[in-house]
Amino acid sequence: MDKISCTLLVDDDRINNFLNQRLLEGLNMTEKLLTALNGKEALSMFEKECRESGCPALVLLDVNMPVMNGFEFLEAYDRLDITPKEHVIIIMLTTSLHPRDVERVQQLGIAGFMNKPLTKEKVNDILKAHFNRELPLE
């Protein structure tokens, strides 16, 4: 399977980040894996990566974080001067399926959202839906 060039994982929960990192590394589906603890950190990593080697192809973004939450990240991301943005797949990871949040996510024009925790099946769904790839069968 062709790997995704770069994945950015954004979550303020270090344990979630660690578990998601282990999962993604174990699935061997991305060339480079970056992690950020909040939207602000993610934004600067994202910009740096875009300048140096090409924007991350996949962003897995938590909703509720201190400093800058997922929604604030997306607002700032929309103002970034990068093209083409349609090549960046952003998936919000949440524990909140509050109708207000669901509606807000749908208005943001991102690729989608998923309930935490991330699993092999969910990663495979993302790969199939957005990258025309599939994890190899065990």
Residue 62 phi, psi dihedral angles, 5° rounding: -70, 155
Task: For each of the domains in the chain, give its residue range(s) and CATH number, in order of start.
Answer: 4-131 (3.40.50.2300)
> Residue 138: which pLDDT band, with cuts at 50, 70 and 90?
low
Q: Can you tell me the distance from the alpha carbon of 118 to that of 42, in angstroms, rounded to the nearest whole number? A: 19
What pLDDT, on a 0 to 100 scale, did the predictor assign at position 57? 95
Q: What is the mean pLDDT of the chain?
A: 89
Tell me the per-residue pLDDT of 6-56, one tens digit each, with 9 for 90 and over: 999 999 999 999 999 999 999 999 999 999 999 999 999 999 999 998 899
Tell me the per-residue pLDDT of 65-79, one tens digit each, with 9 for 90 and over: 999 999 899 999 988
Mapped onto helix, strand or coil, the DSSP state of residue 101 is helix
Distance set, CA 49 to CA 55, 78, 123 (Å): 6, 16, 22
For residue 2, pLDDT over 90 is answered with no
Mean pLDDT calculated for residue range 99-111: 76
